[in-house]
Structure 1
Amino acid sequence: MTIDKNKNWSYPHTTICILFVFIFPFIIYLHEKELVDFLNSYLVKAWFIIIAGFFFVILTVGHGVTGSWKGAFVDNRNIMSLSRFQILGWTILILSAFSTVAIWNMFVTNHDCLKDIENGCLPGMPKELWLLMGISTASMVGSPLILDSKKSKIPDQQEKSQMLELLTSQQGYKRNELDIQGHLVVNQSPSQARFADLFTGEEIGNFAHLDLARLQMFFFTAVSIIIYGVQLGEFLSLELAKPTSEFIKELPTLNSSLLALIGISHTGYLAAKGVSNSQSGSSTDAESPPATGGGAVEEHPAVG
């Protein structure tokens, strides 16, 4: 389905993005004294406000592009993407902490970081965080590449009919909402994406069933983000409790054991994607229309 971006995107979307990127920093600069007083009293709360700002802008951009507030988390199959959920979660957490510390270094500490050519105002990033973002990016890029090979496969018509019957009778789907691309199941529009997509398979053979590899990765991601978020909050609280406001050189390190668990989870997630969970049909089956009873689901040929 082609999305009319010009129709979805409007002046409010542009205004919100401009305010966040350009106007708010300028206002902060003009009200430096009030900002310093607030940071000296509520550094962690300031971090929460920045988290909310990043999250709201991501939702706004997703809505402007796709017409749905879930748009930033929806992939090119109009399905809620676990890899997108994961990388956006880490991006918001790390970038908000990075921004909070940079503002602290710039306005609160006695260190004139604007004239410090070597260090500047920006905090350093531990190598574990770089590895984490690399793993997340590789997973997001690798997922569609693995799935692309399944678009050219011919589905088994009986298995497809059984899957459609199960989805419509037990999970509340409408047949005209679903589309088939090879072995993959897709939605007609981003608004049809469901939170349950994070936990189910992607093919005809497992779209209606729980995918344990995806469930494992979701829990590892959620728990890891919570653990490191608490670590960041404690780190900022300790900085605020010091007698003098010190220059923060680096964000706290992510536990190496936690990083290893995340890496193993992503490996299992991508490996599970590479396994075929659907039966293949014959070219004769592909030419004949599926007997779905309540309305046919249009099957599109593979693209690319």
Structure 2
Amino acid sequence: MKMPQYLLRAIFVLLAAAAPLAIPLLSGSVPAAGAFDWPRFGAWLCCLVGMLGLFVLAGLKIRRRVLGVLVDERNRYSLSRLQISLWTVLVLASVYVVFVVNVVRGDARLALVVDLDPNLIMLMGLSVASFVTAPMVLSLKTMQPADASELARTGRQLRDAQDLDAMPSATGRVLVKNNPGDARLADFIRGEDIGNANVVDLPRLQMLLITAVVVLAYGGAIGHILGTGASFLVELPKLSSTVLLLVLVSHGGYIAGKLIPTSPAVPAAAPQYGARALQASQRAASLAADLQVRLDAGVAGDSRLDWLRSGLALSQGLAAEAAALPGRFAGVEFKPEELANLEGRIDALRASLGAQPGAPSGREIYDAPSPATVSKVQQRLCDLGYAGVRVSGIADAATERAIGVEFAKLGIDRADLHPRPFRYFEETAQLIG
């Protein structure tokens, strides 16, 4: 029984590793300029088939399913496993074929000088981040008690709809199938909580569709450049920042969607913070797209380019930070002020978008206080009779003067407070509140 398995494994290893080297060697001369490069394209297809075949054999060996590598510890098909597997196979196969064919056709010392697009590396990093973060976020629901009648009702509905061999169980409120054979493709888009396991989870559906479109489009771009590009390739196709931001938004929705409660057992604060974090991630991603457009439209010598570049990097970082924040909501170290500060930094960066040279620096934007906190301080100052102070959420000169007067009355020295503006206003709100 083991002989066919060993034979198949050997065949797939040869397709993945040896065929990409043998095909260009046996093809002889390099295709003429303008002709389709069938040897390199064929080597790439063989490598893809070989890698996918090894994934299939691993799934059959461990889970006894063709797509067994995508089945997680809850015996469900995992969307994060699907995404990381697709990008791993596509990128590794492409890089390996380019390297091998460059060695055969050119100078071996230069064959490995192939540039990978930073956006592509970031996209793969997002896949890994989702793969690691998703179970951590979902573990919050494993600590919540499940209603026995709800679990029984959901289990019966799921068993009948998917023709399961065994009745599902639950860890906390997280649904668990008791047999790897009960994994179904519908798991990619169904909820994971016993309250939504029988309905379509829209964030998961969005992430699945975006992943499919991006993988197919980028795979087509790679196939095109392998077939029609120069005989000696030095780079893979570029991945636009717009596509990267689209994927980032889908990851943020995917992670935040795991926090959406389906019963009163979930604390009421969680959905509020989850919605705010998702909105903050989307706003930062949209802002990054705006900055990228402005940066692309800039010309050499434009004095705005430096702060546009720093603003783009900062907005991308803010989007990623907001997307990862829901994973910490249940931790004792999480403070609501962190989310408010994040929103304030996004607001400050957006306010600087149309500025001329002299726009706020990245450090100033990073330290920006939350508009909600500033408004709270300004409202208190208005209540104390400071007519020149307006509740605008912006720390203007009138607000600073009024704070100074109040500190003088209280005998407080500004140097004794936190130097960073966002912490300074939080302390001020407590001192004069």
TM-score > 0.5, shorter chain as reference: yes
Q: Is the 8 A contact 1:154 1:280 kept in 2?
A: yes
- CA–CA separation in structure 2 for the residues paired with 1:88 and 1:122: 25
Query: Equivalent residues in 2 for 1:16-55 (5 A)?
Result: 16-17=8-9, 20-21=12-13, 25=17, 33-36=25-28, 40-55=37-52
Match of 2:142 in 1: 151
Shift in alpha-carbon separation, 1:43–1:183, aligned structure 2, 3 A: same
- CA–CA separation in structure 2 for the residues paired with 1:209 and 1:24: 39
Match of 1:97 in 2: 94
Q: Which has the larger radius of gyration?
A: 2
Shift in alpha-carbon separation, 1:267–1:25, aligned structure 2, 3 A: closer
State the Cα deviation string for residues 239-283 of structure 1 (Å, max 9, x = none).
2xx5xx3x21121111111111001100110011122224549xx
C-alpha displacement of 1:150: 1.7
- CA–CA separation in structure 1 for the residues paired with 2:9 and 2:73: 23
Match of 2:385 in 1: none
C-alpha displacement of 1:72: 0.6
Q: Which amino acid aligns with 1:104?
A: V
- CA–CA separation in structure 1 for the residues paired with 2:23 and 2:122: 37
Bigger CA drift: 136-145 or 173-182? 173-182
Shift in alpha-carbon separation, 1:156–1:28, aligned structure 2, 3 A: closer
Q: Which amino acid aligns with 1:126?
A: D
Query: Equivalent residues in 2 for 1:122-271 (5 A)?
Result: 123-169=114-160, 171-174=161-164, 176-239=166-229, 242=230, 245=231, 247-271=232-256
State the Cα deviation string for residues 104-130 of structure 1 (Å, max 9, x = none).
1011x2x221xx2xx443622111111
Q: Which runs of 5+ in 1 are unaligned?
A: 1-8, 282-304
Q: Is the 8 A contact 2:166 2:179 kept in 1?
A: no
3-state SS, counterpart of residue 170 of structure 2? strand
Count of aligned residue pairs for this structure pair: 261
C-alpha displacement of 1:147: 1.4
C-alpha displacement of 1:176: 2.5
Shift in alpha-carbon separation, 1:167–1:33, aligned structure 2, 3 A: closer
C-alpha displacement of 1:188: 1.4
Shift in alpha-carbon separation, 1:141–1:31, aligned structure 2, 3 A: closer
Q: Is the 8 A contact 2:59 2:66 kept in 1?
A: yes
Shift in alpha-carbon separation, 1:66–1:168, aligned structure 2, 3 A: closer
RMSD over aligned Cα atoms: 2.7
- CA–CA separation in structure 2 for the residues paired with 1:274 and 1:168: 25
- CA–CA separation in structure 2 for the residues paired with 1:252 and 1:45: 18
- CA–CA separation in structure 2 for the residues paired with 1:199 and 1:80: 10
Match of 2:59 among 41, 57, 62: 62
Q: Which amino acid aligns with 1:112?
A: D
Match of 1:112 in 2: 107
**Aligned sequence identity (%):** 31
State the Cα deviation string for residues 37-95 of structure 1 (Å, max 9, x = none).
69853432331221111111111112112222221111111100011111111111111
Shift in alpha-carbon separation, 1:28–1:174, aligned structure 2, 3 A: closer
Larger RCO, structure (CA 8 Å, separation 6 or more)? 1
